[in-house]
Chains A and B, each alone.
Chain A
Amino acid sequence: MRLSRRARGLLRFGVGVGMAFIYLPLLVIFIYAFNSSKILKWPPPGWTFEWFSKAFESESVRESLLTSVEAGAAATAIALLLGTLAAIAVARHRFFGRETVSFLVILPIALPGIVTGVALSNTFTQVLGISLSLLTVIVGHATFCIVVIYNNVVARLRRTSGSFEEASADLGASTWQTFRFVTFPSMKTALAAGALLAFALSFDEIIVTTFTIGAGEETLPIWIFRNLFRPKELPIVDAVAVIVILISIVPVYLAHRLSQESGGIAAGKGGGAAEVAEVTAAP
Chain B
Amino acid sequence: MTTEGVVSKRPARRRFAGLFHGRPRLQVAALLAGPSAWLVVLYLGSLVVLLITAFWTVDALSGEVIQGFSFENIEALLNEPVYRTIVWRTVRTAILVTLTDAVIAFPIAFYMAKVASRRGKALLVIAVLMPLWSSYLVKVLAWRTMLSQDGVINWALNPLGLHGPGYGLTAVWLVLSYLWLPYMILPIYAGLERIPDSLISASEDLGAAPFTTFRRVIFPLAFPAVVAGSIFTFSLTLGDFITVRLVSNSQFIGTVIASSITNDLPFAAALALVPIVVMIAYLAVARKLGAFEHV
1/0 contact trace for B20-33 toward A, CB 8 Å? 11001101100110
Question: Cβ of B193 and Cβ of A264 under 8 Å apart?
Answer: yes
Of the candidates A93, A104, A107, A251, the one whose C-beta lies within 8 Å of that of B28 is A93
Chain A residues with CB under 8 A of B286: 277, 280
Of the candidates A15, A115, A221, A252, the one whose C-beta lies within 8 Å of that of B111 is A15
Chain B residues with CB under 8 A of A42: 145-146, 150-152, 155
Question: Cβ of A273 and Cβ of B231 under 8 Å apart?
Answer: yes
A261 to chain B, nearest CB (A): 13
Question: Cβ of A256 and Cβ of B225 under 8 Å apart?
Answer: no
Query: Does A66 belong to the interface (CB within 8 Å)?
Result: no
Question: Cβ of A122 and Cβ of B50 under 8 Å apart?
Answer: yes
CA distance A268 to B128 in the complex (A): 9
Given contacts A110-B235, A115-B50, 11 further A-B contacts (CB under 8 A): A42-B155, A78-B38, A82-B35, A86-B31, A104-B36, A111-B275, A112-B240, A143-B42, A175-B20, A266-B125, A281-B292
**Contact A14-B115, Cβ < 8 Å, known A114-B241, A248-B134:** no
Query: Does B18 belong to the interface (CB within 8 Å)?
Result: yes
Q: How many A-B residue pairs have CB under 8 A?
A: 355
Chain A residues with CB under 8 A of B135: 204, 220-221, 224, 240-241, 244
Query: Does B57 belong to the interface (CB within 8 Å)?
Result: no
Query: Does A118 belong to the interface (CB within 8 Å)?
Result: yes
Question: Cβ of A221 and Cβ of B136 under 8 Å apart?
Answer: yes
B257 to chain A, nearest CB (A): 6
CA distance A92 to B197 in the complex (A): 30
**Partner-B contacts on A (CB < 8 A):** 1-4, 7-8, 11-12, 14-15, 17-19, 21-23, 25-26, 28-29, 32, 40-43, 78, 81-83, 85-86, 88-89, 93, 95, 101, 103-105, 107-116, 118-120, 122-123, 126-127, 139, 142-143, 146, 169, 173-177, 180-181, 200, 203-204, 206-207, 211, 220-221, 224-225, 228, 237-238, 240-241, 244-245, 248-249, 251-253, 255-256, 259-260, 264-271, 273-274, 276-278, 280-283
**Contact A82-B38, Cβ < 8 Å, known A252-B129, A265-B193:** yes
**Partner-A contacts on B (CB < 8 A):** 3, 6-7, 13-14, 16-18, 20-21, 24-25, 27-28, 31-32, 34-36, 38-40, 42-47, 49-50, 53, 65, 104-105, 107-108, 110-111, 114-115, 122, 124-139, 141-143, 145-146, 148, 150-152, 155, 178, 181-187, 189-191, 193-194, 197, 200, 204, 210, 213, 224-225, 227-229, 231-232, 235-236, 238-242, 254, 257-258, 261, 265, 268-269, 272, 275-276, 279, 283, 286-287, 292-293, 295
CA distance A174 to B12 in the complex (A): 12
Chain A residues with CB under 8 A of B114: 1
Question: Cβ of B115 and Cβ of A3 under 8 Å apart?
Answer: yes
A159 to chain B, nearest CB (A): 12
A139 to chain B, nearest CB (A): 7
**Contact A252-B133, Cβ < 8 Å, known A29-B138, A123-B46, A266-B125:** yes
What 5 A-B pairs have minimum CB-CB distances, sorted nearest first?
Answer: A112-B239, A281-B292, A277-B228, A273-B187, A14-B107
**Contact A244-B21, Cβ < 8 Å, known A19-B127, A255-B129:** no
Question: Cβ of A119 and Cβ of B32 under 8 Å apart?
Answer: no
Question: Cβ of B228 and Cβ of A251 under 8 Å apart?
Answer: no
Chain A residues with CB under 8 A of B125: 256, 259, 266
B33 to chain A, nearest CB (A): 8
B151 (CB) vs chain A CBs: closest residue: A42
Chain B residues with CB under 8 A of A268: 128-129, 132, 182, 186
Chain A residues with CB under 8 A of B269: 118, 122
Main secondary structure of the interface of A (DSSP, over half): helix
**Contact A101-B129, Cβ < 8 Å, known A114-B241, A174-B14, A176-B17:** no
Question: Cβ of A112 and Cβ of B275 under 8 Å apart?
Answer: yes
Question: Cβ of B145 and Cβ of A28 under 8 Å apart?
Answer: yes
A113 to chain B, nearest CB (A): 5
Chain B residues with CB under 8 A of A86: 31-32, 35
Chain B residues with CB under 8 A of A224: 135, 137-138
**Contact A118-B257, Cβ < 8 Å, known A18-B107, A19-B127, A206-B242:** yes
Pick 12 A–B contacts, CB within 8 A, sort by A.
A1-B197, A82-B35, A122-B53, A204-B132, A204-B133, A206-B242, A256-B129, A266-B187, A274-B186, A274-B190, A277-B228, A280-B286
**Contact A21-B178, Cβ < 8 Å, known A112-B279, A224-B137:** yes
Chain A residues with CB under 8 A of B292: 277-278, 280-282
Chain A residues with CB under 8 A of B272: 114-115, 118-119
Chain A residues with CB under 8 A of B152: 28, 42
Of the candidates A108, A225, A253, the one whose C-beta lies within 8 Å of that of B43 is A108
CA distance A249 to B132 in the complex (A): 11
Question: Cβ of A89 and Cβ of B31 under 8 Å apart?
Answer: yes
Select the residue from A113, A174, A265 with max chain B CB neighbours within 10 A. Answer: A174
Of the candidates A107, A114, A200, A225, the one whose C-beta lies within 8 Å of that of B258 is A114
